[in-house]
Structure 1
Amino acid sequence: MKIYILNKVLEFENNVESIEEIFEEVNNIISISNYTLSHFEIDGDEVYNNFYGYFFKNIDTIEEVKVITKNIKDITKEILFSNIEYLEEAIFEVEVLANEFYKEPSKKTWSELVNLLEGIRWLMDTFYVVDMSDELKYIVTSYETWNLYAKDIYSLKDIMEGIGGIFENDDIAFLPEILSDEILPLFKDMKDKLDTLVDRNIDKSKLN
């Protein structure tokens, strides 16, 4: 089989013993580049997960593998675009959620709260990924604003810990206040900062 990765073409035997060597070589090439793995295109099929399992199952018939990579800078931009889009939607959802908790929360309300908390965790996780990227200096327009955005992330962390305490004490009376007076204004502030940090006029189709 032939493996196409960046500007290289590798050839391997179609046997199970080659699989470990294939992944080791692919990882070595990517690790010394400014790219990261996106997915594999194997004989026309796009494979986004369980790579090893796919190779193991189809090793006898695989002829051509294209290793699809993405520039780390582009991935960082994608993350920030996704953050902005999430915050735009979440601002409205938090307002609705707060109003529902001021009344009698339904099963659906609780489910939406779980989704919100997962979204907040995702915002925090993606922040740490972007903040550690060497490409950050080429993407954000102001380190000062980025540092202010970082403070908002740490404020979210404190809020999450506070909500955890509410659940531990089984006291949801403060939830609507936290949603409307803490999370909502923080989300609005975070979106405003990201809007000034990232050029949203970039053609995002070029990042895919």
Structure 2
Amino acid sequence: MKLTFQEQQIEFDMTPSPDEVVAKINELLKENYYFSHFIADGTEIYEEHEDYLIVNVDRIEKLEIIAKTEKEFLNDILLSAEAYLKRAKPEIVLLPEGFYSNPSSEVKTKFGQLMEGLQWLDEMLAVIDESNERPVDWDKCMELSESMKTEIVSLSEAVENSDNVLIADIIQYEFIPIFESLEIEIGKIIDAVGTRHNLS
């Protein structure tokens, strides 16, 4: 198997174990790059990389590593966060009404999706905050992130107490404004230091 990343090539004399391949990939990328995906003999593999290697390692002739610089990686996270906020806003606006009345199973499902989205957003903001390429105007986003964390705790307590009115109030008066502000701030950062893909 031949392992390539940019100008670098590693040739394995014997069939390596999946762990050896992963270790070599990590060695090639070091701290300067974030792994994106790999191309195994022309097939792009975007997820479950280790599982793919376990099944196919003895058949792969050429494994090309695709990685991003930290700046590119953070730009993609910011674009994903902005896209999530744009998609989530119309959904989240409908939730309070569902909780002020008796929440249906559909409302509860959408609420579950909101909770997952909040967790993902919180993790994304933390990754950006801890990175070396942290945007200059990042403080406003971190203030919003702190507000969001506080409200997640309040929301969890309201859920534990089955207080539907409080759940609706927190979504209406806290999360909707936080989402709107975050979308604006992240958009400003992308326009100032990032790049938007596929603009014609």
Distance 1:5 1:151, change over 3 A: same
Q: 1:19-168 maps to which residues of 2 (within 5 A)?
A: 19-32=18-31, 34-136=32-134, 140=135, 142-143=136-137, 146-168=138-160
Q: Distance in 2 between matches of 1:64 and 1:36?
A: 20
Equivalent position of 2:3 in the other structure: 3
Q: Distance in 2 between matches of 1:122 and 1:103?
A: 28
Contact 1:95/1:180 (8 A) holds in 2: yes
TM-score normalised by length of structure 2: 0.89
Contact 1:38/1:68 (8 A) holds in 2: yes
Count of matched residue pairs: 198
Distance 1:20 1:186, change over 3 A: closer
State the AA in 2 paired with 1:26: I
TM-score normalised by length of structure 1: 0.86
Q: Distance in 1 between matches of 2:153 and 2:106?
A: 23
Q: Distance in 2 between matches of 1:148 and 1:121?
A: 19
What's the CA shift string for 1:132-165, capped at 9, x where partnerless?
A: 11112xxx3x43xx21221111111111111111
Contact 1:6/1:69 (8 A) holds in 2: no
State the AA in 2 paired with 1:51: H
Instruction: Provide the alpha-carbon RMSD of the alignment.
Output: 2.0
SS at match of 2:191: coil
Q: Distance in 1 between matches of 2:53 and 2:125?
A: 33
Contact 1:97/1:109 (8 A) holds in 2: yes
